[in-house]
Amino acid sequence: MKISFFGTASLVALLALSAPAAPAQDNAAATTNPRVVLHTNHGDITLELFPDKAPKTVANFLQYVNDGYYNGTVFHRIISYFMIQGGGMTADMKPKPTREPIVNEADNGLKNERGTVAMARTSEVNSATSQFFINVEINGPLDFTGKDNSRTWGYAVFGKVITGMDVVDDIRFVPTGENDVPKETDLIKSAEVL
């Protein structure tokens, strides 16, 4: 028995023609997550933010970006196999004044995986202001596991690196000294919403 490929192709074409057309996409529903680029002296790091998961945290971060707050700050704490932290210190290691702390949104289902961006805080659960960190490894112990205490609350992930992880990796391996402070300036020259 001989199989006709022409007949099969014609049948596929006929089925495609008779299939209902896909509904037109509503432009209002086709929103994209905000993106921010950090222009550093090592290169650019582009972040995608998740306002659906961490709305207060994303709004807080975007406000600092739009205010120009991060311009001229540094990654001031680097632990090569853990994270790089920035967003609150000037190049001469002076802390910048911040707005009021925000609520901890670590219970949003996002995990502290390599390349994710989370809020830094003190031992007080709701103490995050401007400082953030980029996870350079999987950091499961930082994830939300319950509301029992500061440790189980975890650290709120609100975005991820979408380009520039090679830049993050360059920064993570700079030499550091006391208190994990880098021995060279790892500058955030500017930050902008794309």
Q: Is the pLDDT of residue 21 over 90?
A: no
* Rg from Cα positions in the chain: 22
In the chain, % of residues over pLDDT 70: 84
The pLDDT value recorded for residue 18 is 38
Q: How confident is the model at residue 160 (pLDDT cuts 50, 70, 90)?
A: very high
Tokens for 155?
């650290």
pTM of the complete model: 0.84
The pLDDT value recorded for residue 135 is 98
Q: How many CB atoms neighbour CB 87 within 10 A?
A: 26
Q: Is the pLDDT of residue 10 over 70?
A: no
pLDDT higher for 10 or 100?
A: 100
Residue with structure tokens 């994270």? 83
The pLDDT value recorded for residue 2 is 37
Q: Is the pLDDT of residue 188 over 60?
A: yes
Return the bridge partners of 160, or none. 48, 116
Q: What is the mean pLDDT of residues 75-104?
A: 97
The pLDDT value recorded for residue 5 is 36
Q: Which of 71, 47, 51, 70 is nearest to 59 (CA)?
A: 51
Using an 8 Å Cβ cutoff, are 58 and 34 in contact?
A: yes
Q: How confident is the model at residue 90 (pLDDT cuts 50, 70, 90)?
A: very high
Which residues lie below 8 Å from residue 116, measured CB to CB, with a gap of 6+? Answer: 110, 134, 135, 157, 159, 160, 161
Q: Is the pLDDT of residue 4 over 50?
A: no
Q: What is the mean pLDDT of residues 131-136?
A: 98
Domain 35-193: which CATH class?
Answer: mainly beta
